[in-house]
Chain A
């Protein structure tokens, strides 16, 4: 369960204080999929960054049970490490005795994602879709309870986007709560149990698309 209560966040630009999030209240059930929709600059990514504590909030509270992990829009794989090292480095630090187990886990995860042949390659040799999979695998290696995904389909072709949908669905089936920020409404409709629309830093709509099909036109109207 993730509880966001009355969150306010602003950035101090040169002279003016720019409001980015205002009065954000959300309760997200465990193992659900929440889509954060909204145009560019609406505050989706900032909200994810606040949940991950990459940004400090000005007021309000964010309470979550369990481990949170963040999947960056530009992946942020470690370029000097091979794919396998990217996956095993963080978990091995916590438990050095299990290094071999983590290698096996990474191998089987890469196999599931269809990129087992890339285990010993460096990120710069991978395509966008492959990097996306590695980033997902790296996040899953630390067994997160909540996975935050920032624009997971940006820069991917249609086929790769479809793959991301099915991959994220299978991750969700493992009991991981997903919070996905995307400006791609069609993508969010395919995967989300609930969609929250942000505009100018505030929530303007909060719907369950499968239950409220009539609200979809209204949602699309905001774009």
Chain B
């Protein structure tokens, strides 16, 4: 019983790392993804952005994480710590998917909404901020919650470069005790609880109808 309790505590200590990676990844992913989708819709650097999104979506996340963590010191001479490398890798990866979600959301809006803003002489910045994005966010909100859930589960990849997250902590317990079932079940329980929490918050926000 004591074993289970101490295992729960040790594996649970990885939640903080998982949440740091998730929070940072969401922040980078949504802001960069938003910027990419607006630039792409406006026709600015479209081929470059299309290429970037295609490469990010077309290569494994574990490769991107390893590339950023292990090859950055050789390429640009900067040695990143595991969390920063993870946030950059997960953020970049997520931004490609977020930009695709937002692109679909923007393209699903009637062209007349852009034209109505133009005829009322609303400047571009305000058109995006107050007219287009509030409608797009409302339309793509469920897909964004899915993306956050996916990102949470993908943060487990950080364990491959030594990040002490939930997954890595459970592997350490398993290696120490030569027993895989219980530690992995505990890790699964933590991930599943976090996913349920994110979905709960998502549903609450949807019900608030803050976007009318």
Contacts and interface: CB of A to CB of B under 8 A. Distances in A.
B116 A142 contact: no
B120 interface: yes
A54 interface: yes
Given A93-B123, A93-B126, A81 B115 contact: no
Q: Which label, helix, strand, loop or mixed, suits the secondary structure of the B interface? A: helix
A68 B135 CA distance: 26
A89 B131 CA distance: 10
A25 to B, nearest CB: 24
A179 to B, nearest CB: 13
Given A90-B121, A142-B121, A76 B135 contact: no
Contacts of B211: 80
A101 B118 CA distance: 23
A8 interface: no
Q: Which label, helix, strand, loop or mixed, suits the secondary structure of the A interface? A: loop
A72 interface: yes
Contact of B118 (A54, A77, A78): A54
A157 interface: no
Interface string B94-119: 00000000000000001011011011
Given A81-B212, A89-B130, A122-B212, A76 B122 contact: no
Interface of B: 110, 112-113, 115-116, 118-123, 126, 130-131, 134-135, 138, 211-212
19 contacts: A54-B115, A54-B119, A68-B119, A69-B120, A72-B116, A76-B116, A78-B135, A79-B212, A80-B134, A80-B138, A80-B211, A80-B212, A81-B212, A82-B212, A89-B120, A89-B122, A89-B130, A90-B120, A90-B121
